[in-house]
Amino acid sequence: MNDNDVTPGDGAPRWHPGERTDPAELKELAETRPQDLYAAVERLCRQTTGHGDGPQRPAGRAATGSDGASAARAVRRIAETLAETRSRDCARSAVDIVGRLLPAGSSYREENVLLRRSVAAKLAVSQQLRDLEPLFGEFPDTADDPVVEVRACVLGELALIGAGRGRPLLDAYAERLRELGHPLARLPRTRLDVEHRFAVRVRGLGPVRTTEQLRSRFPEVPPTDGGAAAGRTAARTPDDGRARSAAEPFTAGGWAREPEARFFTSAGPLGPDDFGMSFIRELDLDCLAGEGTRRGGAVACATTPDDVLGELFSASFNGGVNGQGQGGAYARLYAWNSFHALLGLPAGTPPLEAVRRAADHRWLRFMAFTDWFHHDTADVAFAVLDPARTGVAVLAATDTDPDTGS
């Protein structure tokens, strides 16, 4: 669908900023007249920006304040409703809205990014593959284009539900994205076994909020004198780039506090039983500042790579109290970027190779009673020991605002 062949039909919906639309009515319009919804979004986007994107769009007065916010909400409702309405026309209209019509400019960037990701997720679970395939018939020349971005997100969402692979058009488009260096194209086209926790909720297994819950789910590692001695002599090895990658799921998801990602090198290989809380509490970590001055003891438990990867995915997929969920495709990318950083691997390392390497590492979850760990919303902390038993990566994040305690 392009600008030249969109004209409202007789009785086409004439939304104005601030007008509320009944969801059932919007759904019915999506099923019967998707082209009119598309035309309505064109008008709303012109009102938001005050001008059009081409010669067919006359200049208009920009919507401001509550009018602009109402227009943006209406555009989101329409795009998401079209994405969830099963038909080829609805799929095309939804993709064209978020790929071609959304207003440009830095003030709209974050909102537009989130809407593209939301629409892509709804398309992947709501539409039939035969209706999505035509979207991928024209190969892109650049990865830096909203039209390309929404299609890349659709492919990423399909991978998470195990769909789309083996379809020639989709496979060829994915290959083109790899050639163009799109970040999502680095990930496999199907979910790996190690990703089985992604977006899966198990009744009774919510976030680990207390040390009792931690002990009940994971085997505790007993403290050792050797671990404490090794921790006192471990040297911090700063690496800002690696730290940013490790923290990415939490920063992207808008967690309330800046995550802590630090790396250490011990003076010699740790003993087989010395990688535990007795070692970690001796490291220079903000999350453990004041440990031992409050009632309650710190705990470290052995865990597995899939547990860590699942928590990294959830951090940005669900979003923090100060942020929003980032969609499955990018939550998956952020999780793997962080996982690679914890392992000390380049971002381009194939995920299956990272899984192979992860098996040779030691993985811990830990928790303490400090100003960092509030035990009421979401506190996550991991430590990873490399195969040489000398390099340690630590990642801790909390979704509790330290200024408000909530």
How does pLDDT run across 237-255, given as a tens digit for each residue? 999 999 999 999 999 999 9
Angstrom distance (rounded) from CA 322 to CA 313: 17
Considering 138, 167, 195, which residue would you say is the last residue of a domain?
195
Angstrom distance (rounded) from CA 155 to CA 151: 6
> Using one digit for the tens of pLDDT, what is the confidence trace for 60-79?
344 445 566 788 889 999 99
Give the model's confidence band at 12: pLDDT under 50 very low, under 70 low, under 90 confident, else very high: very low
Q: Is 200 a member of any domain?
A: no
Q: Is 204 a member of any domain?
A: no
Query: What type of residue is 299?
Result: V
Angstrom distance (rounded) from CA 118 to CA 317: 11
Q: Is 206 a member of any domain?
A: no
All residues at 6 or more sequence positions from 352 whose CB lies less than 8 Å from its CB, including other chains = 188, 192
Same domain? For 125 and 30 the reply is yes
| Total of domains in the chain | 2
Return the minimum-mean-pLDDT range out of 44-48, 369-373, 389-393. Answer: 44-48
Return the minimum-mean-pLDDT range out of 26-30, 220-224, 231-235. Answer: 26-30
Six token digits for residue 398: 């909390």
Same domain? For 132 and 242 the reply is no
Considering 162, 195, 228, which residue would you say is the last residue of a domain?
195
Angstrom distance (rounded) from CA 329 to CA 121: 8
Q: Is 405 a member of any domain?
A: no
Same domain? For 227 and 164 the reply is no
Angstrom distance (rounded) from CA 353 to CA 270: 25
Angstrom distance (rounded) from CA 387 to CA 93: 51
Give the model's confidence band at 2: pLDDT under 50 very low, under 70 low, under 90 confident, else very high: very low
Angstrom distance (rounded) from CA 111 to CA 89: 24
Gyration radius of the chain's alpha carbons: 24
Of the candidates 293, 286, 306, the residue with the CA atom closest to the CA atom of residue 365:
306
331 is in which domain, residue-wise?
211-398
Relative to beta strand 235-236, strand 379-385 is unpaired
Q: Is 87 a member of any domain?
A: yes
How far apart are the two ends of the chain, measured CA to CA in Å? 47
Of the candidates 37, 54, 172, the residue with the CA atom closest to the CA atom of residue 151:
172
Angstrom distance (rounded) from CA 345 to CA 333: 15
Residue 221: DSSP 8-state: P
> Using one digit for the tens of pLDDT, what is the confidence trace for 156-185?
999 999 999 999 999 999 999 999 999 999
DSSP run (H or E) holding 158: helix 146-160
**C-alpha separations of 343 from 76, 264, 385 in Å:** 39, 13, 9
Considering 195, 220, 241, which residue would you say is the last residue of a domain?
195
Local structure of 383: helix, strand or coil: strand
Rounded (10°) CA dihedral 226, 232, 238, 243: 60
Average pLDDT (177-203) is: 90
User: How many CB atoms neighbour CB 19 within 10 A?
Assistant: 11
Same domain? For 190 and 216 the reply is no
Same domain? For 42 and 156 the reply is yes
Return the minimum-mean-pLDDT range out of 24-28, 141-145, 198-202, 369-373. Answer: 198-202
All residues at 6 or more sequence positions from 86 whose CB lies less than 8 Å from its CB, including other chains = 126, 127, 128, 131
Same domain? For 190 and 259 the reply is no
